[in-house]
Structure 1
Amino acid sequence: MKGQEWYQADSVAEEYDAKRFSRGGRLIDRREKEAVLEAVAPVEDERVLEIACGTGRFTAMLAERGADIVGLDISDAMLSQGREKARRAGVSDHIEFMRGDAARLPFPDDHFDTVFAMRFFHLADTPAKFLAEMARVSKRRVFFDTFNGTSLRVLYNWALPMGSRLYGHDEVERLLADAGLGLTNDAHDFLLPYGFYRKVPNSIADPCRSTDTKLGATRLGRTLASVSYWTAEVRGDSST
């Protein structure tokens, strides 16, 4: 995985939310939470697994809505932040935070109703392995996001040493089919990369986001969108 050592540092976990989801970044946080809820809600009394849960932004949100949720991450420091977030929200009894490897999930087949991952597949060296594991432990639904190869992310990647893995629609569909998943919905957003919104104040971010959303609703906007959200269902065994 790209950036694994950086991600696990205590200082990164402590500052993660403040650096990424304040100022213009709050628009990213809001949209990502909307995307998760649109894909997986309602979750009351459902068993949910979040891969790469980080500081528990989505984990706590779904626990507040009644999910019995496990948040799995490779970073102890991130998990500590998640536990504190759950404690403050009063939902610790609905969440189990675990340190683990997304390529070898420590759960039996069909253990969860829904499995999802946000901000994960752009770092994946072997996405097929991770997606296959997500499909294996889910009995119903898988949801994740990707960064796109037809967007401004191409330039963003060129400027950053670590970069991100970029995907096209056809590649995602192949990955889903190989994992035994069928695509049920896809949504595309953010013509301007996340990094732009994080750097600007609210007074600039708000009008830019409004224009971004309008353009994103066009055919060209969907092609140039930097982020895609994918919802898939687990295919039944045709032999039964």
Structure 2
Amino acid sequence: MKGQEWYQAKDIAEDYDTKRFSRGGRLIDEREKQAVLDAVSPVEDKRILEIACGTGRFTTMLADRSGEIIGLDISNAMLQQGRQKVRNNGVGDSIEFLRGDAARLPFPDNHFDAVFAIRFFHLAETPASFLREMSRVSRDQVFFDTFNRYSTRTVYNWLLPMGSRLYSESEVDRLLRGADLTLIDEAHDFVLPYGFYRQIPDEIASSFRDADTTVGETSIGDLFASVSYWNATVQ
């Protein structure tokens, strides 16, 4: 995975949420959490795996809803932040954090009701193998996001420390078929790129987000959206 050493640095983990989800980045956090909830709800009585769980933003949210949640990540530093977060939220009994490799998931076939990964596939060097593993350990649902090839992100992607793998819809379709997954729903969002929102104050970002959402509801918005959410079921 690209950036593996960078994500395992303690100082990166400690500042990760603050740098990405404060200011206008709060709107990104809210949208991603809503996307996960829309996909996997109802959470009650489900066994759910999050791959690349990072600092536990989503695992903590889902544990609040009485699910049995496992978060897996390659970075001990990120997992430490996640464990602290669930302790602070009083939901530690519902979550297990594990260090592991997404290419070799340490679980039997059909072990989870749902498996998801957010902010992961843009760093994946072998996305097909990762998606096959996600499909293998899920008995029902696989949910993930991608950054899109035909979007404003292409303008500045080369400036990012690790860059991003960008996907076309046809590439995602091939990945799904290769993992024996059937697409049941998709959503596209953020015509304005994430980096833009992180640079502006929250009160200003909200106005841009309203305009962004309006454009995003059109065919042009779908075509040039920065991020897509893919909800699939195991065949």
Shift of 1:155: 0.9
- Paired letter, 1:43: V
Distance in 1 between the 2:5 and 2:18 partners? Answer: 20
- Paired letter, 1:98: L
Which residue does 2:139 correspond to in 1?
Answer: 139
SS of the residue 2:23 aligns to = coil
Distance in 2 between the 1:95 and 1:127 partners? Answer: 26
- Paired letter, 1:222: D
Distance in 1 between the 2:89 and 2:50 partners? Answer: 18
Q: How does 1:195-206 map to 2 (within 5 A)?
A: 195-206=195-206
SS of the residue 2:101 aligns to = coil
Q: How does 1:120-139 map to 2 (within 5 A)?
A: 120-139=120-139
Deviation digits for residues 53-111 of structure 1 (CA, Å, limit 9, x no counterpart): 00000001001111101000000010011011111111111100000000000000000
Distance in 2 between the 1:90 and 1:115 partners? Answer: 23
**Identical columns (%):** 69
Aligned length: 235
Gaps of 5+ in 1: 236-240
- Paired letter, 2:204: I
Structure 2 length normalisation: TM-score? Answer: 0.99
Distance in 1 between the 2:141 and 2:68 partners? Answer: 15
- Paired letter, 2:43: V
Shift of 1:162: 2.0
Which residue does 1:10 correspond to in 2?
Answer: 10
Shift of 1:210: 0.5
Which residue does 1:238 correspond to in 2?
Answer: none
Which residue does 2:39 correspond to in 1?
Answer: 39
Shift of 1:134: 0.2
Gaps of 5+ in 2: none
Which residue does 1:166 correspond to in 2?
Answer: 166
Distance in 2 between the 1:158 and 1:46 partners? Answer: 40
Asked if 1:20 is matched to 2:33, the reply is no
Asked if 1:176 is matched to 2:176, the reply is yes
Q: How does 1:1-240 map to 2 (within 5 A)?
A: 1-235=1-235
Distance in 2 between the 1:153 and 1:24 partners? Answer: 17
Deviation digits for residues 8-50 of structure 1 (CA, Å, limit 9, x no counterpart): 1000010111111111000000000000001110010110000
Shift of 1:3: 1.0
- Paired letter, 1:186: E
Structure 1 length normalisation: TM-score? Answer: 0.97
SS of the residue 1:121 aligns to = coil
Distance in 1 between the 2:158 and 2:199 partners? Answer: 19
Distance in 2 between the 1:72 and 1:161 partners? Answer: 24
- Paired letter, 2:179: A
SS of the residue 2:122 aligns to = helix
Shift of 1:180: 0.6
SS of the residue 1:122 aligns to = coil
Distance in 1 between the 2:27 and 2:181 partners? Answer: 30
Distance in 2 between the 1:104 and 1:225 partners? Answer: 31
Deviation digits for residues 142-194 of structure 1 (CA, Å, limit 9, x no counterpart): 00000000001111213335210000111101100110100000000001111
Distance in 2 between the 1:127 and 1:233 partners? Answer: 17
- Paired letter, 2:65: R
SS of the residue 1:123 aligns to = coil
